[in-house]
Amino acid sequence: MTLLQRTLAIVLVALMGVAFAQFPERTIDYVISFNAGGESDITARLQQPFLEEILGVNVTITNRAGGGGAVAWSEAQRSMRPDGYSVIGVNLPHIATQPMERTDTGYETENFEFITWFQFTPNALLVRNDSPFQTLDELLAYAKENPGSITIGGSGSNTANHIATLQLEQLAGVDLTYVPFTGTGPTVPALLGGHVSALMSYTPMAVMQAGQVRTLAVASAERLSFLPDAPTFVEQGIEIVSGAHRGVAAPPGTPPEVVAVLREAFEEATRRIAEEQEEMGFAIIYVSGDEALELVREVTEEYAAILETLQ
Amino acid sequence: MDVLGAALQQLFIPYHLLLVLVGTTVGLFVGAMPGLSATMALAVLLPFTFTMDALAGLIALGSVYMGAIYGGSFSAILINAPGTPSSVATTFEGYPMAKAGRAEEAITAATIASVVGGLFGVFALLVLAPPLAAFSLRFGPPEYFWVAVLGLTLIGSLSSGTLLKGLMGGALGVLISIIGVSPIGGESRFTYGFPALQGGVELIVALIGLFVIPELLVMAGTGVGALAKSKLGTARGLFLSTAKKVLSMPGNLLRSVIVGEIVSVIPGAGGNIAGLLAYNEAKRWSKHPEEYGKGSLEGLVASESSNNVTVAGSMVPLLTLGIPGAPPDALILGAMLMHGLRPGAELFTTQGALTYGFILSMGVSAIVMLPIGLFGGRLIYQAVVRVPPSFLVPTVASMAILGSFALRNSMTDVMIMLALGLLGFVLKEIGFHPAPIALGLILGPIAETGFVQSRLMGSAYAIPYFKLVESPLSQVLIALSVLAIVWPLVSDWRRRRAARAGGSK
């Protein structure tokens, strides 16, 4: 090796080191696969100023809605550059169930570099304040006598809400009618207007609508600090612990050093908005690294098993 | 009253008034750009409001919202492009008016109508919020289905000329709306293996393609700008004469704002449906239905007054029940929650000064639209008229591409827009109007969702479809739909009989 070659090699290595040490040095694009104004979008916009402060660069939020998130997720795996300057919000069980039910989603569940899962919203079974059902038992007893006549509204098909309703049917041995709505938003007037008997929704809805609804059960392992009076399904003898997770991932092939920088930034941003988030009914989690992929696998297995019993 | 006084005191400090002025102006320009919607403007603004105090943040959001819905009328009138979906019906009369050299009159009328609508919406929100919210809850899936059916009867009045072509256009619109992941069930339809098509055809993308591109092609083909030069007198004289014309149709204004209010308090039905229904009603009750489609001021006023009612109207379910009445409201809800404000009765009592301050700021925003809109509108109009077609066509075309892309940051959407543009051009040449296609696109998903949900809700019934006709409100909507179909036939028959009687004398 000549001196020139050696010098070049050293310079190159140094440059690479500098390149990684300095990540990020320009604007990071944070893609959200849902419309502006949704919970995923609002969470990202809450994180945005803190991410900018921590990372020292601009962070722009790009909404790429479509196909229940699938359009953006397939692009992340097909054409996004794996350099850390593009990250994408990911949602469970969406990324687990969509490839199971559709052949053309264009992405694979595990083919992301998961940065961190930062938010968990357990399912919650809600009825209107003036509903005759005071407890979960009363609702289930009525459902047993009148098969199919209890209608349960929820967000979407093959979603966390839908699957939790199916689990409830199986575990309690009752026949419920699940009515899917296009998102959590339209479920509220459906419940308040008496068009459905109950909602399988998420805990933020239980918190926000606290004055108008009663929470019969939440699908968390233990009672939640922000809904202390709401009993869990588990303590009422029904083993349902489920909900939706939100997190962020990088396109496959993003260097681990870069992922590590992003992970720290997102965890810190999450810590700074944790208090507001909990007040709004979101459970804050910090599931990163190997655990993040582990969570994806767990959820995928669980939902595959439930969807199989359906067919 | 004490609360209102306190609210006024908080509102009328220079900082808040400046926010209203700036917010309305920004909203106006965003709304005038096809593809940049009110929702997007609010999303970009949202993080900034976290650092403001609660009232200032809400004022900024509300003013931008108000300005954007109004701003959509500019591009609707001047280049046949609904700037936001709310101004679809504005294109039907606004653009023909502009073509006939009445663009300034159209803009002035749209401005006055928007101010009237905006103020009415605020008034209703102040006075009638609780009963209106209770009313809105009576709309469930079956009622949504019938609202969509009622809206589809509009095809009859929109397909000037042949009803068959109108119906075919409507069916085409519904078919296009089916592309993508189904709203209920989650299957993908007509995607032919392209993951990008899972997102379906976004409404505004289709509107840009169907309305703007054919116009541009015609302009490019003939080499003549679409807008004739205005032959009218001074700005002041025009304003006064137009104001007189608009205000001399109180029946039309009242009917339109009531339609707007009813539609807007129903969550999920927004300004586009309000504008279309009000337009249809205006035509039905008009003494000059033959002018519609050729530049009827009445039709324009109906559309623009009703869509601006929806800004405050959609806040009724938001503030009382925490239900966003339209997509931009979801962002306002986000801002409220960030400031620890929970929707409900408390907002109007303990938080009264803040809530009423916010509501009144929307009224102020509606009023400042008048000077901003007249001035800004004149500038935009002169730019469009003075620029020769060889510059105008590429400029508008790049705006159309930018707008289609910006909505979901998607090149696929640009391709869809161009494809629909070509389709729209061919269809127009053989006598299909884009309006029924747009109607099918807007209402198809609402009808489908309502229908499937109603069927599911009726699962325990012997005949599940009975759910569709069960409620009294459904029955009223069915009756209205039947009336909407029969009415034109009856009036047509009457006119013919009158003509025959007149002829035999």
DSSP code per residue over B192-205: TT-GGGGG---HHH
Is A250 part of a structural domain of the chain? Answer: yes
CB contact under 8 A, B42 and A68: no
Of all residues in chain B, the one with the smallest CA distance to A41 is: B43
Q: Provide the CATH number for the domain around residue A263.
A: 3.40.190.150
Domain residue ranges of chain B, discontinuous segments joined by +: 2-231+246-386+409-504
Is A20 part of a structural domain of the chain? Answer: no
pLDDT at A20 over 70: no
Per-residue pLDDT, A44: 93
Please compute the mean of the pLDDT values over residues A81-98 and round it to a whole number: 94
Q: Which of B184, B344, B453 sits opposite A211 (nearest CB)?
A: B344
pLDDT at A1 over 80: no
Q: Find, among A109, A70, A90, A118, the residue nearest to A30 by Cα.
A: A90
**3-class state of residue A150 by DSSP:** coil
Torsion sign across C-alpha atoms A129, A133, A134, A140: negative
Is the distance from CB of B344 to CB of A211 less than 8 angstroms? yes
How far does CA B329 lie from the centroid of its chain?
15
| Helix orientation angle between A289-310 and A94-101, rounded to the nearest 10 degrees | 40
Half-sphere exposure of B476 (CA within 13 A, CB side): 7
Q: Are A59 and A97 in the same domain?
A: yes
Please compute the mean of the pLDDT values over residues A114-143 and round it to a whole number: 96
Best interface-test mutation with A: which of B177, B182, B337 has the largest number of A CBs within 10 A? B337
End position of a domain, from candidates A173, A208, A236 = A236
Using pLDDT thresholds of 50, 70 and 90, give the confidence band for residue A6.
low
Please compute the mean of the pLDDT values over residues B223-235 and round it to a whole number: 65
pLDDT at A13 over 70: no
CA–CA dist B426, B439 (Å, integer): 19
Torsion sign across C-alpha atoms B364, B95, B148, B476: positive
CA–CA dist A155, A183 (Å, integer): 5
Q: Are A267 and A183 in the same domain?
A: no
Q: Are A133 and A232 in the same domain?
A: yes
Please compute the mean of the pLDDT values over residues A126-151 and round it to a whole number: 96
Q: Are A193 and A290 in the same domain?
A: no
pLDDT at A17 over 70: no
CB contact under 8 A, B410 and A101: no
Q: Which of A67, A146, A190 sits opposite B181 (nearest CB)?
A: A67
B-chain residues near A182 (CB < 8 A)? 183-184, 449
Please compute the mean of the pLDDT values over residues B397-421 and round it to a whole number: 89
Per-residue pLDDT, B505: 45
B-chain residues near A107 (CB < 8 A)? 195
**Chain position carrying tokens 């709304």:** B31
CA–CA dist A281, A204 (Å, integer): 4
CB contact under 8 A, A208 and B322: yes
CA–CA dist A239, A243 (Å, integer): 13
Residues in chain A: 311
CB within 8 Å of A20: residues ≥ 6 apart: A255, A257, A258
A-chain residues near B188 (CB < 8 A)? 67, 102, 104
Half-sphere exposure of A273 (CA within 13 A, CB side): 26
Q: Are A115 and A52 in the same domain?
A: yes
CB contact under 8 A, A62 and B409: yes
Smallest CA–CA distance, residue B264 to chain A, in Å, is 14
Burial letters for A133-161: b for 16+ Cβ neighbours within 10 Å, e otherwise?
beebeebbeebeeeeeebbbbbbbbbbbb
Using pLDDT thresholds of 50, 70 and 90, give the confidence band for residue B234.
low
CA–CA dist A69, A66 (Å, integer): 6
A-chain residues near B191 (CB < 8 A)? 104
Using pLDDT thresholds of 50, 70 and 90, give the confidence band for residue A3.
low
A63, β-bridge pairs: A32
**3-class state of residue A103 by DSSP:** coil
Write the burial class of residue B306 (CB in 10 Å: 0-12 exposed, 13-18 middle, 19+ buried). buried
Please compute the mean of the pLDDT values over residues B458-470 and round it to a whole number: 90
Per-residue pLDDT, B503: 55
Per-residue pLDDT, A11: 60
pLDDT at B231 over 80: no
CB within 8 Å of A129: residues ≥ 6 apart: A211, A212, A213, A214
Of all residues in chain A, the one with the smallest CA distance to B405 is: A64
A180, β-bridge pairs: A154
CA–CA dist B103, B230 (Å, integer): 7
Is A85 part of a structural domain of the chain? Answer: yes
What mean pLDDT, rounded, does chain B reach?
88
Is A49 part of a structural domain of the chain? Answer: yes
Of all residues in chain A, the one with the smallest CA distance to B408 is: A64
A93: cis peptide before it, omega within 30°? yes
B-chain residues near A275 (CB < 8 A)? none
Q: Are A116 and A127 in the same domain?
A: no
Per-residue pLDDT, B203: 86
Using pLDDT thresholds of 50, 70 and 90, give the confidence band for residue B1.
low
Q: Based on the structure, what is the number of domains in chain A?
A: 2
Backbone φ and ψ for B474, nearest 5 degrees, come out as -60, -45
CB contact under 8 A, A66 and B187: no
Is the distance from CB of B450 to CB of B141 less than 8 angstroms? yes
A36-50, A104-118, B365-379, B481-495, range with the lowest pLDDT: B481-495
B-chain residues near A67 (CB < 8 A)? 180-181, 188, 195, 198-200
Give the H/E segment covering residue B206: helix B203-207
pLDDT at B451 over 60: yes
Q: Which of A36, A192, A194 sits opposite B39 (nearest CB)?
A: A36
Which conformational region is residue B344 in: left (phi greater than 0), alpha (psi within -120 to 50 degrees), or beta?
left
Most confident of A245-259, B92-106, B193-207: A245-259
End position of a domain, from candidates A212, A236, A260 = A236
Q: Which of A37, A194, A210 sits opposite B327 (nearest CB)?
A: A37
**What is the complex's ipTM, to 2 decimals?**
0.84
Each residue's pLDDT tens digit, A182-196: 888 889 889 999 999
Smallest CA–CA distance, residue A19 to chain B, in Å, is 29
Cβ contacts below 8 Å, chain A against chain B, sum to: 175
CB contact under 8 A, B267 and A48: no
CB contact under 8 A, B140 and A177: no
B-chain residues near A68 (CB < 8 A)? 181, 186, 198
CB contact under 8 A, A276 and B191: no
Most confident of A62-66, B21-25, B409-413, B441-445: B21-25
Of all residues in chain B, the one with the smallest CA distance to A34 is: B408
DSSP characters over B264-323 = HHSTT--HHHHHHHHHHHHHHH-S-GGGTTS--HHHHHHHHHHHHHHHHHTHHHHHHHS-
CB contact under 8 A, B195 and A185: no
Per-residue pLDDT, A216: 97
% of chain A surpassing 70 pLDDT: 93
End position of a domain, from candidates A179, A202, A236 = A236
DSSP A224: B
Is A14 part of a structural domain of the chain? Answer: no
Per-residue pLDDT, B33: 82
Domain housing A35 = 26-120+243-310
Is A15 part of a structural domain of the chain? Answer: no
Best interface-test mutation with A: which of B179, B453, B471, B474 has the largest number of A CBs within 10 A? B453
CA–CA dist B356, B352 (Å, integer): 6
Structure tokens at B382: 């002169």
Q: Are A111 and A156 in the same domain?
A: no
Each residue's pLDDT tens digit, B87-108: 899 999 999 999 888 888 999 9
A-chain residues near B54 (CB < 8 A)? none
DSSP A199: E
Is A254 part of a structural domain of the chain? Answer: yes
